Structure 1
Amino acid sequence: MEIYLLRHGTSLANEQQLVCGSSDYALSGKGIEQASRVCQELSRIPFTRIYSSPLSRAVNTIAELNSPIIVNIEDQIKELNTGDVSHITLPELWSRDERYRQPWLSPDLQYPGGETFREMVARISEWYNTRAKYWSDSDKILIVGHEGTLRSIYLNLMHLELTDYPDFPIGNCDCLYFENSDNKVIRFEHIKLNGTEGELN
């Protein structure tokens, strides 16, 4: 089984350094260009199942994907619900409480009007485990979402604890690739979008 986790292209919120979370912000001009490039590369892969967060920045990242497979829109793989602070800047959030800079270290810290980090990881992990029951070793799966989506599924696939939450950078339109056999990851690769050549490498 091959699993590709794709982060959405650069959004307007990313460019403004907004907290954003599960609020719906569109792709920026740069994000649209990134999405077009990544779709050219991903269209070479014969996916058997495709899933996407319902947020427009995720859905529109694969708008140009040339695939006959229907995209399943999945509410559970949205980004962290950051509630009342979704429209402030990241520096402003961190000035209110430094723990928000690395929320996985304080996983029960609730975002005002939103959810905790632990709740997000549990939500996305539950979605993954439910869907994965129906997948076979011959499947090639594309999941399009957000940093929180990718990192939570990474935790699940690697059989790690929340304290091992990955904090390596995941750029816009980067892919995390996993080859799985018997519920074990036998190959992992972080595939970065190359801005100069416009292809995955």
Structure 2
Amino acid sequence: MRVILVRHGETNENVQGIIQGRLDTSLNEKGIMQAEQTADALRSVRVTHIISSPLSRARVTAEIIAKQQASAAFSTDERLQERGFGVLEGKVYSGPREKPADTVGIEPSAAVIARLGEFWEDLTRSPDPDRTVAIVSHGGALSSLMNYVLTNDRVKCAAGVEPSRFWNCSLSEINVPTEGPGTVISWADVRHLHAGESHVRNVDEAIS
């Protein structure tokens, strides 16, 4: 099975360094353009399933991709939502990476890892070589999935593949065999986006 992880396109909050978490923010003009470029990049791939976070910035990115994948089954899954940051949501955050464990309303890291682990187990329970799944989610969620769920003996990076941040509309590809660990073929690839495009640091991914 082929799995393609897609982070949503840019939002104004991304640019402003605002913590979004579960806020239902929208793509900005550049984010829509990034999603369209991503859809074009995937046009030659026969995507069979598109699964998205229900939050608008991810769902709209997924819907733009789906326009180029007429035969793909489309669904949303709440387990792909961004981590909830409680009282920090909607604010510019410039504090330390490690937030106080008692931050009001914050979703514990262990809970994030658990729901994403459950999602991955459901997805890969019976790998089908004819299945190509595009998963559209968020920077913090994808970082937790790759760094804490999958790299725990579930996947291995191919030669030359290095972990990085998950940039807006980046593509990461994983081959999942019927037995044994999967292989990360690419990690947060943005070569399909316009040349010279600057990367926006994702504050939701930068804090833990």
Does the alignment reach a TM-score above 0.5?
yes
Structure 1, unaligned stretches of length 5 or more? none
Aligned to 1:144: 136
Aligned to 2:6: 6
SS at match of 1:90: coil
SS at match of 1:6: strand
- Give the C-alpha shift of residue 12 in structure 1: 1.9
Count residues with an aligned counterpart: 183
Distance verdict in 2 for CA 1:171–1:44, change over 3 Å: same
Mapping 1:174-185, distance limit 5 Å:
174-181=170-177, 182-185=179-182
Q: Distance in 1 between matches of 2:196 and 2:46?
A: 23
TM-score under structure 2 normalisation?
Answer: 0.79
SS at match of 2:186: strand
Mapping 1:46-85, distance limit 5 Å:
46-65=46-65, 66-67=68-69, 68-85=71-88
- Give the C-alpha shift of residue 143 in structure 1: 0.4
- Give the C-alpha shift of residue 135 in structure 1: 3.5
SS at match of 2:27: coil
Identity value in percent:
23
Q: Distance in 1 between matches of 2:153 and 2:12?
A: 32
Amino acid at match of 2:23: S
| Off by >6 Å, runs of 4+ in structure 1 | none
Note if contact 2:172-2:184 (Cα within 8 Å) is conserved in structure 1. Answer: no
Q: Distance in 1 between matches of 2:2 and 2:29?
A: 30
Aligned to 1:172: 168
Q: Distance in 2 between matches of 1:74 and 1:80?
A: 14
Deviations 1:144-182 (A, max 9, x none): 000123223323333259xxxx97222100011111222
Aligned CA RMSD, in angstroms, stands at 2.4
TM-score under structure 1 normalisation?
Answer: 0.81
SS at match of 2:106: coil
Aligned to 1:31: 31
